Amino acid sequence: MKLRRRNFLYLAAGAAALPAMPRAASALDYPTRPVHLIVGFPASGLTDILARFLGPALSERLGQQFIVEDRPGAGTNLATEAVVRAPPDGYTLLMATSSNAINATLYDNLRFNFIRDTTPVASVARTPLALVVNLSFPARSIPELIAYAKLNPGTINMATAGIGSSLHLAGELFMTMTGVKLVPVHYRGIYVPDLLAGQVQLAFSPMPTTIAQVRAGKLRALAVTTGTRSPALPDVPTIGEFVAGYEASVWNGVVAPKSTPSAIVERLHAAIDAALADPRLAAQFAGVGSVAKSMTPGDFGRFIVEDTEKWDKVIRADNIKAE
């Protein structure tokens, strides 16, 4: 990414994180009616699950219903645009994800700029991907996988959830950093049956998708993609233990439309932070392999910029184009 683009992103994030002047007295007693938390994926996906865990916790603390509304399509872009275009009054929020950082480069003609047009409210969670392989695959560790892949270039099929998905880019980053060549096989639906059958050999898979098969001994987890080991699979190493500097994860957080009053942002942030500190919510997150992750709005905005830059480099280096 060019320096001037990087500077623009940081300036945009800084502007988005700055407190907006309260524009109505209603900000002081927010919320007075139900709040819609928009999700850009179908029901039962990770982002939907985390939103449905978070919603009741916020309702309990703020006294109004938080309605989770799934609006899948265009890799979360439909949901994101709906929130960007909504009134900045705190009643329409987005459960943002790492896809928002990826899409900034992956799509050429977005009708919004995610960093410029949203206000960071709170980070919510990090979820590692697990590098899982079919049981018949000969490698039992990351070093063995790298050695095998270098001896057999272009013969290992890697399942993904589609071009430009977090699964795909985690694999592309792995290839770039290790010099191996895997063959991405892009699925629009469920890839786990083919992985179990050996039609594809491995996947960088979200923890909720394959952790049951790993625990049942039907798939082998070679590593997790986060910088630290996952409490859900504590005996499984990180890729970074073998490939210095490697890190990839699915993140979730809440953002609001640009110019949402600071009083509303602060009230939402305080409620989300209190919910994340509750052991009940932490246990729900842990059940799907996620870890609660709190950040100030400013830190969350800077993190989004850094993640956008990270995946921009991968997408441009590998000339990845949206479907």
**pLDDT tens for the chain, residues 1 to 323:** 444 555 555 555 555 555 544 444 456 789 999 999 999 998 988 999 999 999 999 999 999 999 999 999 988 999 999 999 999 999 999 999 999 999 999 999 999 999 999 999 999 999 999 999 999 999 999 999 999 999 999 999 999 999 999 999 999 999 999 999 999 999 988 899 999 999 999 999 998 889 999 999 999 999 999 999 999 999 999 999 999 999 999 999 999 999 999 999 999 999 999 999 999 999 999 988 899 999 999 999 999 999 999 999 999 999 998 87
**Dist. CA 128–CA 131, nearest whole Å:** 10
Q: Residue 27 has what pLDDT?
A: 67
* Shared domain check, 171 and 32: no
For residue 220, give the CATH number of its domain. 3.40.190.10
* Shared domain check, 161 and 149: yes
Q: Give a yes or no: residue 322 inside a domain.
A: no
pTM equals 0.88
* Shared domain check, 133 and 122: no
Domain termination site, one of 241, 259, 287? 241
Domain termination site, one of 241, 265, 299? 241
**Dist. CA 89–CA 142, nearest whole Å:** 48
Q: Max Cα separation, the chain? A: 67
Q: What is the dihedral sign for C-alpha 93, 96, 101, 105?
A: negative
* Shared domain check, 95 and 34: yes
Q: Tokens 């993904």 appear where?
A: 160
Q: Give a yes or no: residue 304 inside a domain.
A: yes
* Shared domain check, 99 and 40: yes
* Shared domain check, 218 and 255: no
**Dist. CA 210–CA 226, nearest whole Å:** 16
Nearest of 79, 37, 40 to residue 54 by alpha carbon: 37
Q: Give a yes or no: residue 180 inside a domain.
A: yes
Q: Give a yes or no: residue 56 inside a domain.
A: yes
* Shared domain check, 257 and 205: no
* Shared domain check, 145 and 118: no
Q: Residue 155 has what pLDDT?
A: 96
* Shared domain check, 283 and 221: no
Q: Give a yes or no: residue 106 inside a domain.
A: yes
* Shared domain check, 44 and 122: yes
Q: Give a yes or no: residue 323 inside a domain.
A: no
Q: Residue 28 has what pLDDT?
A: 73
Q: Residue 39 has what pLDDT?
A: 98
Q: Give a yes or no: residue 164 inside a domain.
A: yes
CB 163, CB 320: distance < 8 Å: yes
* Shared domain check, 151 and 122: no
Q: Domain total for the chain?
A: 2
Q: Give a yes or no: residue 172 inside a domain.
A: yes
* Shared domain check, 154 and 218: yes
Q: Residue 21 has what pLDDT?
A: 44
For residue 50, give the CATH number of its domain. 3.40.190.150
Domain termination site, one of 241, 269, 286? 241
**Domain ranges, residue 198:** 128-241
